[in-house]
Amino acid sequence: MKNLLIQTEELPAFENINVSDVEPTIDKLLAESRIIVQSLLANTKNYNWDNLLQTLEDMNDKLNRTWSPASHLHSVADNDQLREAYNNCISKLSDYSTEMGQNEELFHAYEQIAGADSFKFLSTAQQKIVTNSLRDFQLSGIALDTKAKERYKLIQQQLSKLQTKFEENLLDATHAWRKLITDKDELEGLPESCIELAAQTAKDVGKEGWIFTLEFPSYMPVMQYADNASLREEIYGAYVTRASEKGPNAGQFDNSEIMNKILQYRTEKAKLLGFESYAHYSLATKMAENTNEVLDFLNNLIERTKKYAEQEYEELTLFAKETANVPRLQAWDVVYYSEKLRQKKFDISQEELRAYFSVNQVIEGLFAITEKLYGVTINQREGVQIWHKDVMFYDILNQEGEISGSFYLDLFARRHKRGGAWMDECIVRKKTSTGIQNPVAYLTCNFSPPLGDKPALLTHDEVTTLFHEFGHGLHHMMTKIEYSGVSGINGVPWDAVELPSQFMENWCWEKEALDLFARHIDSGEILDNKIFKKMMKARTFQAGMKMLRQLEFSLFDYRLHMEFAISDSLIIQDLLDEIREKVAVVETPDFNRFQHSFAHIFAGGYAAGYYSYKWAEVLSADAFSKFEERGIFDKKTGKAFLQSILEQGGSREPMDLFIEFRGRKPSIEPLLRHSGITA
């Protein structure tokens, strides 16, 4: 029987993938890859791109294409059997990666290619792959002695297991809590969309009433709108203690020990490779040049932002005191009274805006904007195998009508799907023996699903999230690079990878763009100027508090990975408390365990790199300012961004690409202006 995991020319056959095939298939491909590498090194003496590196590119692409659907299913349709297969494979893939990174013959082959006269005849992308690979050999411990190499391998194994376990604990903790309400009076203040979702959730499990969960579409409306303060307090307490030793499921999915072990192993790895700390190690693959540059960047933004945040919080506390006689704001009051204050000041709410953002109209508008900017066409394709009935598939066609990229779109929250929003690679663009392999992306969000025969309605925040992830997708799909090592987002320094995603968000705030899709679900009328002006006035509402919160997380992440190297007895909670004391304006309860669910740094790729969001936001705001100067749909500027940023992938340094597009180095001023924070 054909193994449906191994697809070299087609899309993954999601509906027919057998979980029992996953581990044996990965075993087979890893064994084949080892034989190929051994054979190449044994039979070749004068190495070049064609007789070594192209074969390695093709070999790695086959492995990645096979692993991609299995890994993706673990994120969007998890079950016990898949989880076991995933965990077993992650360990084997980690071993294989370490083995290749410490293969001295392979390393010397790359050195030989880099030192040969023929190196200068390679394309820019090929040269970048070789130089990146030589750097990565060093970061994989190629220079270590035998004993240290074994230790490095063990560390990598343990980190793979621990990071996966962190995320699984978070998923399980999120789904372990639910609250059934049978008295409708307790739902006072909640929008109808939230009540309907809670009723549907209850109905799905055969209960009468309303069930609330810790999935974001259920959690956030309670925090924002529920007049019932005890309900807000209860759901807040459950949410901020997920996967910790506190809260309603205390200790059941506790990430406390896992976090410490992850930090211990990361620190040991960094020191093994000769770095002072994991924060120093992480900069080897980033734009920022040293730890002082990162810390100065964050502290400068904190200094410029904090006075605005303090004024905003003072205004909020005064509002709560005067309107509701609240002597002291609790953490579960902040979002609720902020929404009340927003409505009072600007006469607008996210719920009111929902009516203008039905999901199909938003998708059509997103595509129309992309088509105007880059001269492409986006069409839905039927008949593609998917993992859930809600998933859709689209092709991006160039001006000649040829497919240049494709993507799966999975928008709605459900059980067995991890929270948040992300873009991931299914297939990477590369040159093959028969032509060009087109890139395919997964675009995943967790919005409130449609209820009954009504279409899903998005908040403006959710619209912005969709545009953000689509920006990542365009970076992956619009690349012209023909070598997978630096195609799309591959090889892009982590603190520049958010540039195209945050850049796309800007069109959510432009009337000319909104007119393409923001239409009232009942009347069909476009968003009128009066509402738009309210939106724009409200855009910078509590912008200081929001920015300060992100800076708090960024500073915590970076200092944690620096200072754990000085003292591995460092208590994570103590460091976070110290940073909050200096940075935050909102008081956090003692029981809050935010770090236990901080998957970005403990399970994702943002360890010692969460600052990347703000770093790249400087780039994206400044890039967009060129459109503000010339017109948001200016074709010449759109073409320049496409050619200088999106098409180049990781083939060149991001600062060089930015200067090519903008004509100068980036300025921080557009970001501060967009945030309402001025000198």
Residues designated catalytic: 469
Indicate the residue type of 483: Y
From its phi and psi, is residue 435 left (phi > 0), alpha (psi between -120 and 50) or beta? left
As to burial, measured by CB atoms within 10 angstroms (0-12 exposed, 13-18 middle, 19+ buried), residue 134 is middle
Q: Give residue for tokens 């992830």.
A: 469
Helix pair angle (612-630, 291-324), 10° resolution:
80
Q: Which CA distances in Å does 244 have to 173, 174, 202, 248, 579?
A: 9, 11, 26, 10, 20
Contact 645, 661 (CB under 8 A): yes
In terms of Cα–Cα distance, which of 594, 606, 503 is closest to 554? 606
Q: Which two tokens stand for residue 406?
A: 């494709």
Q: Which two tokens stand for residue 468?
A: 């953000």
Q: Which CA distances in Å does 647 have to 181, 183, 366, 391, 665?
A: 52, 56, 19, 27, 20
Distance from C-alpha of 30 to C-alpha of 568, rounded to nearest angstrom: 36
Q: How many CB atoms lie within 10 A of CB 38?
A: 13
- Strand 435-437 to strand 430-432: parallel, antiparallel, or no bridges (unpaired)? antiparallel
From its phi and psi, is residue 672 left (phi > 0), alpha (psi between -120 and 50) or beta? alpha
As to burial, measured by CB atoms within 10 angstroms (0-12 exposed, 13-18 middle, 19+ buried), residue 611 is buried
Contact 555, 303 (CB under 8 A): no
Contact 512, 526 (CB under 8 A): no
Distance from C-alpha of 229 to C-alpha of 331, rounded to nearest angstrom: 11
The H or E element that residue 664 is part of is none
Q: Which two tokens stand for residue 417?
A: 């799907």
Q: Is the dihedral of CA 33, 38, 44, 47 positive or negative?
A: positive
Question: Nearest 5 degrees, angle CA 298-CA 299-CA 301?
Answer: 65
In terms of Cα–Cα distance, which of 655, 565, 663 is closest to 288? 655
Q: Which two tokens stand for residue 430?
A: 């590369």
Distance from C-alpha of 35 to C-alpha of 41, rounded to nearest angstrom: 10
Indicate the residue type of 612: S
Three-state SS at 448: coil
Q: Which two tokens stand for residue 154?
A: 């063990």
Three-state SS at 211: strand
DSSP per-residue codes, 507-525: GGG-HHHHTTT-B-TTT--
**H-type helices in 116-179, by residue range?**
124-139, 146-176
The H or E element that residue 465 is part of is helix 460-477
* CA contacts within 13 A on the Cβ side of 50: 3
State the first-to-last Cα distance of the chain, in angstroms, to the nearest integer.
67
Contact 269, 278 (CB under 8 A): yes
Per-residue buried b or exposed e for 244-264, using 16+ beta carbons within 10 Å of the residue's own CB:
bebbebeeebbbbebbbbbbe
